[in-house]
């Protein structure tokens, strides 16, 4: 096993659940020159596909220290990342999905965002693994009912996002956080379990006064939707549920009371897009599949209603962290707003 002589500057946390071959490729990508001292922490959520045996073999061969946290069952993306963050020895914590592969110099590029002490988060340029000409996401945008979408998703990469700039928050599949920021505001909200969790953490950090920079030379290739699968109804349930929880917990009141109107507009636009065979529901080809998708979104709203009292309690508890006023939060969200057309139909805006 690799023995580190001093604490690493970065701790790379990777959550895994039954994706041994993707995990192998993910760890292999970190063997490329990263130009920063780091450790890797893999949190395994009770895999039964040989992932643990793979990690046991790799620990003796990797050129960086690897620690493994073994859970008996699937605790979800949020809880597992929190375990990794708690175990991290680095000044910075990088998250890398097991279905993502880092390019050379990924960590060095992300670290360059933190020369400003007010920056607490750094976003990567995430490209589609199967076609790296296409952008998966370069930071995030948000619709005002709480639904969020990757910035630049679906666009071909021809340099339009090749400048360092502020973004709303980073995508949790490949990003970096200042550890002191996480110590201050807390880690992932485990009620989210998976999907939208990075949005909640990112917006909470922004409200607490921390900034986020997008670093275009921090390049990662991502297998999209490999955790549950793009057509898995549970994925849609969690996405829809968690956008409600995000809004209830963090949105300013002037936007929160309009949430139903924004939601109705999004649903109407989504149904129209489905009729045109565009957007999220277009992945469900048959009429029955489209009904399944609609049911999943309605189920997500119902599950959110049951968690609303808990989110509202958390909303009150966060008052002591707030550095931005409600009007400043509203302006932040408006500045990084996604259009209804782009959200519902997947029509990319030009940058």
The per-residue pLDDT for range 233-284, each reduced to its tens digit, is: 899 999 999 999 999 999 999 999 999 999 999 888 877 776 666 665 555 5
Residue with tokens 């110099």: 105
Rg (CA), the chain: 19
For 127, the enclosing helix (H) or strand (E) is strand 119-128
pLDDT of residue 256: 93
38-45 and 66-71 as β-strands: parallel, antiparallel, unpaired?
parallel
What is the rounded CA–CA span in Å between residue 98 and residue 79?
16
Query: Hey, what are 229's tokens?
Result: 């699968």
* Full 3-state SS string of 66-116: EEEEEECCCCHHHHHHHHHHHHCCCCEEEEECCCEEECCCHHHHHHHHHHC
What local confidence, expressed as pLDDT, does residue 351 receive? 38
Q: What secondary structure letter does DSSP report for 337?
A: B
Other C-beta atoms lying within 10 Å of the C-beta of residue 124: 32
Instruction: Kindly list the distances between the CA atom of residue 324 and the CA atoms of 146, 149, 207, 210, 316, in Å, as whole numbers in the listed order.
Output: 18, 23, 5, 10, 15
Tell me: the pLDDT tens digits for 105-160?
Answer: 999 999 999 999 999 999 999 999 999 999 999 999 999 999 999 999 999 999 99
Instruction: Please answer whether residues 23 and 16 qualify as being in contact, where contact means their C-beta atoms are separated by less than 8 angstroms.
Output: yes
- Give the tens place of pLDDT for each residue, 188-247: 999 999 899 999 999 999 999 999 999 999 999 999 765 555 568 899 999 999 999 999
The predicted pLDDT at position 226 comes to 53
Q: Which tokens belong to 62?
A: 């990797």
Question: Rounded to whole angstroms, how far apart are CA atoms 203 and 184?
Answer: 14
The three-state secondary structure class of 217 is strand
pLDDT of 253: 95
Distance CA 273, CA 2 (A): 52
Put simply, whether the predicted model's pTM sits higher than 0.85 gets the answer yes
What domains, with CATH codes, occur in the chain?
10-222 (3.90.550.10), 233-322 (no CATH)
Closest CA relative to residue 13, chosen from 223, 186, 221, 176: 176
Query: What span, in angstroms and rounded, lies between the C-alpha atoms of 240 and 147?
Result: 7
Which residues 6+ apart lie within 8 Å of 184 measured at CB? 208, 321
């Amino acid at each position: 096993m690799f023995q580190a002589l001093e604490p690493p500057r970065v701790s790379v946390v990777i959550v895994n659940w039954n994706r041994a071959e993707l995990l192998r490729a993910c760890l292999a990508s970190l063997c490329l020159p990263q130009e920063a001292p780091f450790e890797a922490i893999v949190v395994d959520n009770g895999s039964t596909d040989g992932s643990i045996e793979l990690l046991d073999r790799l620990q003796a061969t990797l050129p960086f220290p690897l620690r493994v946290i073994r859970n008996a069952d699937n605790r979800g993306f949020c809880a597992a990342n929190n375990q990794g963050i708690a175990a991290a020895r680095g000044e910075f914590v990088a998250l890398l999905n097991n279905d993502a592969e880092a390019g050379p110099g990924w960590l060095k590029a992300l670290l360059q965002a933190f020369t400003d002490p007010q920056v607490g988060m750094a976003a990567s340029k995430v490209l589609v693994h199967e076609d790296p000409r296409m952008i998966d996401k370069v930071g995030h945008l948000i619709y005002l009912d709480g639904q969020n979408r990757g910035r630049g998703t679906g666009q071909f990469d021809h340099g339009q996002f090749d400048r360092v700039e502020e973004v709303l928050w980073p995508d949790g599949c490949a990003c970096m956080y200042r550890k002191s920021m996480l110590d201050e505001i807390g880690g992932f909200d485990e009620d989210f379990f998976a999907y939208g969790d990075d949005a909640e953490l990112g917006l909470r950090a922004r409200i607490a006064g921390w900034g986020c920079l997008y670093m275009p030379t921090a390049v990662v290739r991502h297998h999209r939707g490999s955790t549950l699968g793009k057509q898995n109804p549970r994925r849609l349930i969690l996405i829809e549920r968690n956008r409600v929880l995000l809004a209830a917990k963090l949105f300013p009141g002037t936007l929160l009371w309009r949430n139903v109107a924004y939601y109705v507009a999004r649903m109407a636009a989504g149904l129209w897009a489905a009729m045109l065979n565009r957007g999220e529901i277009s992945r469900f080809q048959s009429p029955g599949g489209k009904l399944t998708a609609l049911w999943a979104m309605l189920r997500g709203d119902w599950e959110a209603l049951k968690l609303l009292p808990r989110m509202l309690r958390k909303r009150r508890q966060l008052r002591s962290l707030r550095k931005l006023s409600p009007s400043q939060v509203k302006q932040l969200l408006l500045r990084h707003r996604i259009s209804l057309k782009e959200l519902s139909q997947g029509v990319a805006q030009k940058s």
